[in-house]
Amino acid sequence: MSSPSARPSGSVADAVKGNWVDRFAPEAAKPYLRMSRLDRPIGYQLLFWPCAFALAIASTATGTVFNLSYFVLFFIGAVAMRGAGCTFNDIVDRDIDDKVARTRSRPIPSGQVSVKQAAVWLVAQALVGLAVLLQFNVVTVVMGLASLVPVAIYPFMKRVTYWPQLFLGFAFSWGAFVGWTAITGGLDWAPLVLYAATIAWTIGYDTIYALQDVEDDVLIGVKSTALLVGERPRPFVTGFYALAMILWFAAGQLAGSGWDLALFMLAPGAILAWQIVTLDRKDGPNCLARFKANHWVGVALTLAFVAAGLV
């Protein structure tokens, strides 16, 4: 593999070739956009979809029309906060990233951005996220600020537990709370069950993602569920995906959806099943493609919740 300095544009190793950042962004902005993973949209997509799930079931619970303006605001907030979270993660993991083939070309370990510059960029993105959050009610603002706790904890978990994916789930599923409270102004059992479901989903898909790094993780001494399950990731992921489907259905029922939700959920269930059946733990591109397919799980499940609320 070529060194970061030999890369003509400074692009990150695991970014898709010809992505919009590499092709169109100003040179000075590229390292910062890459640090925010804007060259790889799957991260902010997966952070966003729990917000959309919650908006959909909250609309069902309150008998209101799905709120498209909130949908857009949460998308902007997810992009900003995913970027801030990745920047924080890169600051914390800069010494580890330098030892992993897939990550050593990131802006900080490759020397394109200093830690001080990264910290300024982190604050700028967080302020954008705060500006979005302040558009909502007080309960949602409080819930949004509370999300900073799991976000701050997550980068350190790979050093102390084989379950960092669980802590990623705590952070990435928080949209279940902010989406619900934005509509209802309070919490209930439905968003709590939705939160648990989305944590299970996150553990499943991020285990698939972590399969790409098992050899490097062993060498540098960090942990993951992919290492924990060894040669048997398929039954492990199957269990968590099945749990997610059951709890998603339960959340919909608690919000007032009918049993026809089960029919609408066949599409996201089929995508999850395809991931499991075709997964090859030793093939990095195979794992990455199945991980990225979870964006379409988010699309399909949101549509399922919306459709169930309209019937």
Q: Which residues contact 201 (CB under 8 A, 6 or more apart)?
A: 169, 173, 240, 241, 244, 294, 297
Mean pLDDT across the chain: 92
Residue 120, pLDDT above cutoff 90: yes
The verdict on pTM exceeding 0.75 is yes
Instruction: Report residue 98's pLDDT band, with 50, 70 and 90 as the boundaries.
Output: confident
Q: Is residue 6 in some structural domain?
A: no
pLDDT at 234: 97
Enclosing domain of residue 156: 25-310
pLDDT at 4: 36
Q: Is residue 157 in some structural domain?
A: yes
Local structure of residue 6 (DSSP, 8 states): G
Q: For 154-195, write each residue's pLDDT tens digit.
A: 989 999 999 999 999 999 999 999 999 999 999 999 999 999
Alpha carbon distances (Å) from 268 to 65, 163, 201, 300: 23, 25, 11, 5
Q: Is residue 5 in some structural domain?
A: no
pLDDT at 105: 81
Q: For 201-239, write each residue's pLDDT tens digit.
A: 999 999 999 999 898 888 888 999 999 999 999 999 999
Domain CATH number, residue 191: 1.10.357.140
Average pLDDT over residues 36-60: 95
Average pLDDT over residues 64-82: 97
Q: Is residue 8 in some structural domain?
A: no
The domain tally of the chain equals 1
Q: Is residue 2 in some structural domain?
A: no
Q: Is residue 186 in some structural domain?
A: yes
